[in-house]
């Protein structure tokens, strides 16, 4: 996937294009060099970024506007904590039955307070839940391939960069935003500033996200700004893979 930087759409406020493409030095899959079957397989494009950057808003917009399947790692994380799963039992064994709500569900807010204030607890939770999430991502990806779908699959995942080797990604989109904008967004979700900062600090700093990006979206404006940048990004992504913009019913006979 080595190639010169590509630019899509108008420059963002920092002077970079919102669809800026980073040349890569390897590490991504190169299906053009593989057999015909893999060349026709769906392309997995990961969307990631820190809390409050708007990565999920971007992912949902693209899925709604253009129709690609969207895999949501956070939603899978919710499913991993449902009663009846092996991960549910393991989480309660590790963190205590006091996390259990009257209806039997795990209190995600209480669990979050524990893990975001204790790095070891966070690592323990990730070791329990992440293999479960990754297995289901791969299962759904293979099911889409088996169905004959040959377009783009979007994967919304905060920890995408930790999973690159397991996922064999075709491209990565990193969403960024200034810290004050992120804190303001999190406040609208009911998160106090000290808690917002603690969660932001538990994630990797921005300078560790962007070198892995194929495209960077700077989400420092309103929803209309993001929609404009998303459309420019999508045009560039589809151009990169030689695919049409609308993907909802993309079968093997429609890939070019």
pLDDT band, residue 202 (cuts 50/70/90):
confident
pLDDT digits (tens, 9 = 90+) for 169-197: 999 999 999 999 999 999 999 999 999 99
Is pTM beyond 0.85? Reply is no
Cβ neighbours of residue 206 under 8 Å, at least 6 residues apart?
50, 176
Which pLDDT score is estimated for 39? 62
The C-alpha atoms of residue 234 and residue 249 are separated, in whole angstroms, by 17
Q: Which residue has the higher pLDDT, 7 or 224?
A: 224
Which two tokens mark 99?
């996390």
Please check whether residues 208 and 94 belong to one and the same domain: no
Phi-psi region of 67 (alpha: psi -120 to 50; beta: other; left: phi over 0): left
Domain endpoint, select from 148, 181, 199: 148
- How many Cβ atoms sit within 10 Å of the Cβ of residue 166? 13
Q: What is the CATH number of the domain that holds 10?
A: 3.40.50.300
Please check whether residues 55 and 84 belong to one and the same domain: no
Instruction: Return the CA Rg of the chain.
Output: 19
Please check whether residues 187 and 255 belong to one and the same domain: yes
Which pLDDT score is estimated for 218? 96
Instruction: Determine the structural domain holding residue 96 and report its residue range.
Output: 73-148
Percentage above 70 pLDDT, the chain: 81
pLDDT digits (tens, 9 = 90+) for 55-73: 999 999 999 999 999 999 9
pLDDT band, residue 245 (cuts 50/70/90):
confident
Which pLDDT score is estimated for 8? 35
Q: What is the mean pLDDT of the chain?
A: 84
Residue 22 has pLDDT above 70, yes or no: no
What phi and psi, each to the nearest 5 degrees, are found at residue 235?
Answer: -60, -40
The C-alpha atoms of residue 167 and residue 59 are separated, in whole angstroms, by 18
**What mean pLDDT comes out for the span 198-212?**
88
The C-alpha atoms of residue 78 and residue 74 are separated, in whole angstroms, by 6
Domain endpoint, select from 127, 148, 169: 148
Domain endpoint, select from 120, 148, 176: 148
pLDDT band, residue 99 (cuts 50/70/90):
very high
Please check whether residues 176 and 252 belong to one and the same domain: yes
Residue 217 has pLDDT above 90, yes or no: yes
The C-alpha atoms of residue 221 and residue 168 are separated, in whole angstroms, by 32
Which pLDDT score is estimated for 80? 94
């Amino acid at each position: 996937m080595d190639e010169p930087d590509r630019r899509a759409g108008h420059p963002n406020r920092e002077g970079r294009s919102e669809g800026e493409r980073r040349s890569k030095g390897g590490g991504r899959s190169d299906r053009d060099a593989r057999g015909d079957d893999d060349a026709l397989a769906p392309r997995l494009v990961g969307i990631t970024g820190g809390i409050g950057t708007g990565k999920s808003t971007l992912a949902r917009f693209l899925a709604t506007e253009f129709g690609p399947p969207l895999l949501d790692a956070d939603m899978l994380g919710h499913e991993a904590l449902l009663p009846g799963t092996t991960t549910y039992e393991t989480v309660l064994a590790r963190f205590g039955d006091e996390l259990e709500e009257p209806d039997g569900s795990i209190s995600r807010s209480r669990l979050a307070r524990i893990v975001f204030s204790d790095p070891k607890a966070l690592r323990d939770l990730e070791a329990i839940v992440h293999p479960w999430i990754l297995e289901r991502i791969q299962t759904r990806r293979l099911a889409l391939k088996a169905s004959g779908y040959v377009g783009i699959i979007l994967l919304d995942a905060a920890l995408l960069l930790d999973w690159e080797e397991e996922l064999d990604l075709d491209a990565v989109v990193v969403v960024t935003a200034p810290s004050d904008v992120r804190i303001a967004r999190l406040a609208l979700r009911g998160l106090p500033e000290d808690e917002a900062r603690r969660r932001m600090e538990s994630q990797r700093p921005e300078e560790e996200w962007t070198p892995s990006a194929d495209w960077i979206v700077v989400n420092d404006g309103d929803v209309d700004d993001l929609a404009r940048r998303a459309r420019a990004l999508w045009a560039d992504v589809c151009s990169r893979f030689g695919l049409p913009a609308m993907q909802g019913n993309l079968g093997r006979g429609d890939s070019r």
